[in-house]
Structure formats: C-alpha cells, structure tokens
C-alpha cells in the first residue's frame, strides 16, 4: 500500500492545515506544466494522497490499513485495531464506503495554481513598477457563465445512482462474490446530471483561455524572486474558486550598472590628468544626470560613492543603497616629444627618491614609486 504521508512529506499526526500546505507545495513542484511531462505520474500520486488524507473518513480508513483509492480494497494486514476499524473494512465492500460515507462529488471544484515568468529591467527593480505576463489556463466559460448548462437550468438527480454518486457492483474474489461500491459512470460520481450541457464547455463551466495579467513589482525585488497573485490562477470546475498565480521575476542585465545587494556599481575611465588634479564629471544614473567628484590624487580602482542612489531596500520600501563608481585611469600609450619631456621633468622632481618597487605576496599600500615615474617606466 502506498504511503501517502511519505508522498506528501508529512507526519501521521499532521493537521489538516499541514496536509493542505504540503499538497500545495508538492502539486506546484510536480505539476506537468512546471516540472515537465515526465512528472505526470508523480503529480497523480500527489493528488491521490491528498484526496485520501484531506478527507477525514478516507484518512481514518487508510490509517486502519485500507486504501480507499485501491479498487481491490487495499492491504488490510492482520491487526484491525478494534471493531470500529473492522467496520470500516466491511463498509468498503458492503456499500458504506462511497455513497453513504463520502457522498457525491461536488461539481464545483477549486482550480489549481498556475506559474508564469516575467522579465524586467534593472530600473524597474530599483524603483518598482508594473509588468504584464501572458497566462494560458482555464477561465470561466462566458457562454454559460460557469454553470455548465446551455439553458441555465440546474442539474437534476442522476437516474442511475439516485443522487448517491456511487453504485454497487458485484466482484469476484478468492473469498467468493462480494459487493463493492464504485463511482457512477452516468454522472461521474456527482450524483446529478446536466440535462443540456453547454455547447462550448461541455458541462465543465470553464474553457482554456489566454489572458494578460498585470503584475505589480515591488521596489527592490531580487532576481529570481517569486510573486504570488491570489485567485489569478486556474478557474475551477463549474465556477469553482480560482487558484493562485505565481510569477517568477527575472531581472535583465543592464549595460551601465551591476547590482550587488542594495548597491549599484559602475566602472568609469578618466584621463590621468583628472586623476592627478581632480575633476567633476557628469554621469547618467537612474535618478537622472548626477555630478561625480573625482578627488585629486585618485588612484586606479579607487571608488567614489554617491549615497542613496542605489536600489530601494525591499524590507522598508523607502531607504536606498548607494551607487559606487570604480575609477579606471586611462594611461596614454603614445606621447609627443613635448609630453614626454614634461613627464621626464615631473619624474625628476617628484620621484627622484624612488629607486625600486616593493614586493609582497599580498596586496599592500601603493609602492613608493610615483604615478608619473611608473608611467615613464611604461614608455621606456
């Protein structure tokens, strides 16, 4: 007998809420539209487990050693745990299981959850915004309004099972002929039939639809985050409540900025004279053009920070990280004779005492040799 508790990953003492949460998690994980067709059998197994464990009567029978989903009557074992459990076993064969204990299957069923993906730019992740996702799922049938009936009439009692949803059948076993219950084939276990089914949805109250759903993206959202849109998923049978829509958010790479947590990083190249003398430059940010002050004596790979121009912090939705500019100094590869003489003159004045370069296995402070001295060495 299949261990339904193991299928859903819950203990035998799990509450109804625990079972429901586990089912939602497992059904999303193994849904064929999400995990792929190869998990279709696993998805069916998860649904079978939930069908039994979510029904108090079926769960009691299962705990007694009878699998309600097993047409052969399950595996009973030898310890029946008292007359109450024994009665459950006999009730399965003699009509108690199904029509009397379970009742007919409601026509109105809740819809399943759906999954979609949306790609946004980095600016939307910084400030928040809206995007749209396309969803192919079940929607309510507009022709019958979800009733499943062509003329709007209510379902009538099934003439075969007389509203029970189950019929008794005689089966042959090694113990002889025995009576068992099975879903009514006429009404599919509902106990009622729709005399004039809708010509569009054929009595199901829903049809496959394609629709665009607006998604509100919170400021500061991370790449690969998942948003939940309540009741935007698949509409249930005969107007049943819709499941939830889950949207996976992917943030597209930006050509100017890289995100690290709540901070934005960019890399800029400046002439060596700006690094030595200092300079104010204008850069484009998500907040418009901003002035970046390059300090005099700026070193290669030094950073300059603009406070509060980074990503909005998701936890409070108001404060923001920083924008950090990494400075790269552009050293010219060709010099005129005049420029070369000026570098020579500066090196003699500024780097006269520099005779060697310090060496270490780890990063250290800048070498004693000056910037222009190293520039001179590069050309020599």
**CA-wise closest residue to 268 among 283, 254, 255:** 283
Q: Is residue 321 part of a domain?
A: yes
Find the CATH number of the domain harbouring 310. 2.60.260.20
pLDDT digits (tens, 9 = 90+) for 235-261: 999 989 999 999 999 999 999 999 999
> Given pLDDT bands bounded at 50, 70 and 90, which one contains residue 362?
low
Contact predicate 146/241, CB 8 Å: no
> Given pLDDT bands bounded at 50, 70 and 90, which one contains residue 354?
low
| CA of residue 212 relative to chain centroid, distance | 18
| Domain boundary, last residue among 195, 222, 253 | 253
Is 238 part of any known ligand binding site?
no
Q: Is residue 310 part of a domain?
A: yes
Contact predicate 8/29, CB 8 Å: no
pLDDT digits (tens, 9 = 90+) for 337-348: 998 888 888 888
For residue 350, the enclosing domain spans 342-380
The verdict on 241 and 361 lying in the same domain is no
Cα–Cα dist 134/379, whole Å: 59
The verdict on 274 and 323 lying in the same domain is yes
106: how many CB neighbours lie within 10 A of its CB? Answer: 14
The verdict on 230 and 287 lying in the same domain is no
The verdict on 219 and 323 lying in the same domain is no
pLDDT digits (tens, 9 = 90+) for 265-321: 999 999 999 999 999 999 999 999 999 999 999 999 999 999 999 999 998 888 999
Q: Is residue 191 part of a domain?
A: yes
The verdict on 128 and 245 lying in the same domain is yes
* Strand extents, DSSP E, the chain: 114-120, 129-140, 156-157, 166-173, 176-183, 192-193, 206-217, 225-229, 245-251, 258-260, 263-271, 279-285, 288-294, 303-306, 323-330
Cα–Cα dist 341/335, whole Å: 9
Q: How many domains does the chain have?
A: 3
pLDDT score for 298: 93
Output the six-digit token pair for 42.
């696993």
Q: Is residue 86 part of a domain?
A: no
DSSP letter (8 states) at residue 183: E
The verdict on 359 and 283 lying in the same domain is no
Q: Is residue 9 part of a domain?
A: no
| Domain boundary, last residue among 232, 253, 274 | 253
Q: Is residue 139 part of a domain?
A: yes
pLDDT digits (tens, 9 = 90+) for 175-199: 667 778 888 999 989 999 999 999 9
| Domain boundary, last residue among 228, 253, 278 | 253
Q: Helix 40-53 and helix 16-30: axis angle, to 10°? A: 170
Is 266 part of any known ligand binding site?
no
Q: Percentage of residues in the chain with pLDDT exceeding 70? A: 83
User: Vertex 252, ends 247 and 257: CA angle to 5°?
Assistant: 135
Cα–Cα dist 50/8, whole Å: 8
Q: Is residue 55 part of a domain?
A: no
Q: Please state, rounded to an integer, the average pLDDT across all residues of the chain.
A: 83
Q: Helix, strand or coil for residue 193?
A: strand
The verdict on 154 and 118 lying in the same domain is yes
> Given pLDDT bands bounded at 50, 70 and 90, which one contains residue 132?
very high
The verdict on 248 and 371 lying in the same domain is no
């Amino acid at each position: 007998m299949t261990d339904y508790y193991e299928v859903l990953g819950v203990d035998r003492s799990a509450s109804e809420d625990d079972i429901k949460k586990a089912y939602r998690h497992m059904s999303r994980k193994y849904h064929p539209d999400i995990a792929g067709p190869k998990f279709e059998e696993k998805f069916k197994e998860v649904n079978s487990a939930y069908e039994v464990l979510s029904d108090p009567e079926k769960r009691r029978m299962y705990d007694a050693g009878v699998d309600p989903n097993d047409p052969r009557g399950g595996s009973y074992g030898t310890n029946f745990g008292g007359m109450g459990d024994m009665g459950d076993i006999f009730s399965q064969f003699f009509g108690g299981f199904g029509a009397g204990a379970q009742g007919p299957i409601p026509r109105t069923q809740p819809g399943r959850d759906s999954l979609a993906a949306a790609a946004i730019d980095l600016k939307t992740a910084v400030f928040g915004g809206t995007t749209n996702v396309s969803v192919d799922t079940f929607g309510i049938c507009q022709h019958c309004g979800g009733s499943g009936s062509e003329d709007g009439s209510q379902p009538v009692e099934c003439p075969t099972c007389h509203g029970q949803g189950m019929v008794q059948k005689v089966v042959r076993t090694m113990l002889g002929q025995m009576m068992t219950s099975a879903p009514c084939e006429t009404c599919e276990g509902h106990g009622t039939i729709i005399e004039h089914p809708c010509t569009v949805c054929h009595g199901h109250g829903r049809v496959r639809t394609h629709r665009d759903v607006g998604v509100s993206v919170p400021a500061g959202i991370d790449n690969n985050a998942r948003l939940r849109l309540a009741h935007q998923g698949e509409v249930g049978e005969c107007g049943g409540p819709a499941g939830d829509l889950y949207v996976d958010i992917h943030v597209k790479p930006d050509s100017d900025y890289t995100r690290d947590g709540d901070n934005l990083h960019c890399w800029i190249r400046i002439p060596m004279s700006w690094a030595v003398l200092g300079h104010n430059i204008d850069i484009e940010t998500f907040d418009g053009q901003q002035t970046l002050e390059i300090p005099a004596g700026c070193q290669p790979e030094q950073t300059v920070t603009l406070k509060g121009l980074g990503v909005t912090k998701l936890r409070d939705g108001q404060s923001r990280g920083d924008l950090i500019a990494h400075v790269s100094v552009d050293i010219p590869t060709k010099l005129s004779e005049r420029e070369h003489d000026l570098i020579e003159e500066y090196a003699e004045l500024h780097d006269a005492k520099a005779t060697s370069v310090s060496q270490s296995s780890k990063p250290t402070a800048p070498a004693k040799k000056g910037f222009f001295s190293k520039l001179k060495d590069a050309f020599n």
